[in-house]
Amino acid sequence: MLDAKLALETLLELTRALRGERPLEEALGEVTRAAVRLLSANHASLRLLDDSGEHLLAAVRSGAGSDRPALSFRRGEGVLGWVVDHGEAVLLQDARHDARFKRNPAKQGFVVGSLMVVPMLAAGRVFGALSCSSDRTDAFSEEELQLLQLLANCSVPPIEKARLERLAVIDPHTLAYRQTYLLPRLEEELGRASRYATPLSLLFLDLDHFKNINDSYGHAAGDRVLRTFADRVRQSIRLSDLLIRRGGEEFVVVLPNMPLDGAKAAAERIRAHIENTRFVIGDDQSITQTVSIGVAQWDGVELAAHLEERADQAMYAAKTLGRNRVCLSTPPTNP
């Protein structure tokens, strides 16, 4: 039975919390936690479309299985993809009997009985979906579906604010942030890491033998490779991570609240994703590509430029060792 008083109090608290200057991923986590708490759900996830508009990325998740790798969805795939494609909410009292349902309980770490999914819209445009599930059948009501939609609506303003701010500093070719955004934003993130005593890591990525692509197939083919590369990197990182085009075929990823071992795992995930991608460069023509990645964790005192330099040096070490690999930077020892 839905507690109307608790629901109203939670919505008011959530609205206030989302007005603050908190990192987007942290703010959106309030939404999924509220969904699990209010709706007695086992799991809730908030997913956003990537810049290509074709993939639903798991922005935040709460409840059972949140520590597992998220299932991936393309637009139109699964119940979530259907909701994004049609812009309509769905309530399934037994999801297992719905042809759209994507099953993989072993991988996701929880069983889905009932499932609710609502679209997230801004200016008539669907840009994501909020879902909530229970391991029981017949667990949710139409009233609870409406509450889930209200929770989704609460998350729209901070997401739209982040989107509009991002448009002003975006490289139009790759949809990554521009180089001029790197140091100011990195300094801001280092300040936050210092204030809250949290780790921060940096990845420096360089496509291997990229000049050969431009020389052999032309700059238009090179631009297509860069765009696909940036899309694949975004699919491999969190919503809170920042992808910045450093220049040419060099990119940087800022990983807030990420220690060195987690950053190394993220870098390996990116490297493998790139290695296994076919890059389309023309009609019926595609090539393979690899990337070398340097990883550095902030030592707690160094300047942003020095952290970037260490990650850059680690990337060059990866090149020297044969490319298509990840190398770690050792933090400097203080005398």
Q: How many CB atoms lie within 10 A of CB 117?
A: 28
Q: Are 80 and 100 in contact (CB under 8 A)?
A: no
* Residue reference for tokens 């460069």: 281
Position 15 scores a pLDDT of 78
Residue at 126: amino acid letter? V
Instruction: Pick the more confident residue, 172 or 218.
Output: 218
Q: What is the value of pTM for the model shown?
A: 0.60
Do 157 and 200 reside in the same domain of the chain? Answer: no
Q: Is the pLDDT of residue 203 over 60?
A: yes
pLDDT: which is higher, 281 or 206: 206
The string of pLDDT tens digits covering residues 154-185 is 888 888 777 777 777 888 889 899 999 999 99
The phi, psi pair for 218, rounded to 5°, reads 100, 165
Rounded CA gap, 128 and 200, in Å?
A: 27
- Residues 78 and 157 grouped into a single domain: yes
Q: Are residues 110 and 136 in the same domain?
A: yes
Categorise residue 167: left if φ over 0, alpha if ψ from -120 to 50, beta otherwise: alpha
Residues 214 and 119 in one domain: no
Q: Give the model's pLDDT for residue 250.
A: 97
Residues 15, 154: one domain?
yes
- Distance, C-alpha 259 to centroid of its chain: 17
The pLDDT assigned to 75 comes to 87
What is the DSSP code string of 186-233? HHHHHHHHHHHT--EEEEEEEETTHHHHHHHH-HHHHHHHHHHHHHHH
With beta carbons less than 8 A apart as the criterion, state whether 57 and 50 touch: yes
- Residues paired with 56 in a beta bridge: 49, 73
Residue 103 is predicted with a pLDDT of 67
Neighbours of 167 (CB within 10 A): 9
Question: pLDDT higher for 156 or 88?
Answer: 88
Alpha-carbon distance 73 to 103, whole Å?
Answer: 12
The pLDDT of residue 170: 86
Those residues whose C-beta lies under 8 Å from the C-beta of residue 257, and which sit 6 or more positions away, are: 193, 198, 199, 200, 240
| pLDDT above 70: percentage of residues in the chain | 95
* pLDDT tens digits, one per residue of 258-273: 999 999 999 999 999 9
More confident residue, 186 or 21: 186
Using one digit for the tens of pLDDT, what is the confidence trace for 52-83? 788 887 778 898 888 877 777 888 888 999 99
CATH number at residue 227: 3.30.70.270
Written as six digits, the tokens of 56 are: 């639903």
Q: Based on the domain organization, do 49 and 157 belong to the same domain?
A: yes
Which residues span the domain enclosing 243?
179-328
Structure confidence by residue, pLDDT tens digits, 99-146: 888 766 556 667 899 999 999 998 888 989 999 999 999 999 999 999
Q: What is the pLDDT of residue 334?
A: 54
Confidence of residue 326 (pLDDT cuts 50, 70, 90): very high
| pLDDT recorded at residue 82 | 94
Distance between CA 56 and CA 71 in Å, rounded?
10
pLDDT band at 333 (very low <50, low <70, confident <90, very high): low
- Total number of domains in the chain: 2
Cβ-based neighbour number of residue 326 at 10 Å: 25
Kindly report, residue by residue over 290-319, the tens digit of the pLDDT: 999 999 999 999 999 999 999 999 999 999
| Same structural domain, 120 and 240 | no
